[in-house]
Amino acid sequence: DAKTTQPTSMDCAEGRAANLPCNHSTISGNEYVYWYRQIHSQGPQYIIHGLKNNETNEMASLIITEDRKSSTLILPHATLRDTAVYYCIVRVAGTTDSWGKLQFGAGTQVVVTP
């Protein structure tokens, strides 16, 4: 699976949009971009995933560049509860051998301030 690069940390004001970048310049055509987050003392939580189209759900939006070498997770209206470590993960879908593996990097520590 392709490696990802994320900023170590970022701050965001409550109520504002948080834009979390992720670089995955070696991504292959069959690799998806997944985002998880981990709130302190909890297990990681799935947020969203996509292949090449932009995606939106109740938690966030995922914007993937046309060349798929980078993506941005957008939390539209950050709240204090969004303070967490956010992980960007690239992985192959549908391959039995590697299907189960999620390789977590260091992620981005996001702090939402009042």
- What is the rounded CA–CA span in Å between residue 23 and residue 80? 26
Per-residue x/- mask for other proteins, residues 95 to 114, rule CB under 8 A? Answer: --x-xxxxxxxx--------
Instruction: Determine which residue in the list 19, 44, 63, 72 makes contact with other proteins, applying CB under 8 A.
Output: 44
Residue 86 sits in the site that holds other proteins (CB under 8 A):
no
Q: In 3D, which of 44, 112, 110, 33 has the Cα closest to residue 68?
A: 33
Residue 94 dihedral angles phi and psi, to the nearest 5°: 80, 10
Residue (5 or 99) nearer to other proteins, CB: 99
Q: What angle do CA 8, 11, 16 make, to 5 degrees?
A: 135
Residue (69 or 101) nearer to other proteins, CB: 101
Where on the chain is the footprint of other proteins (CB under 8 A)? 32, 34, 36, 38, 42-46, 49, 51, 91, 93-94, 97, 99-106
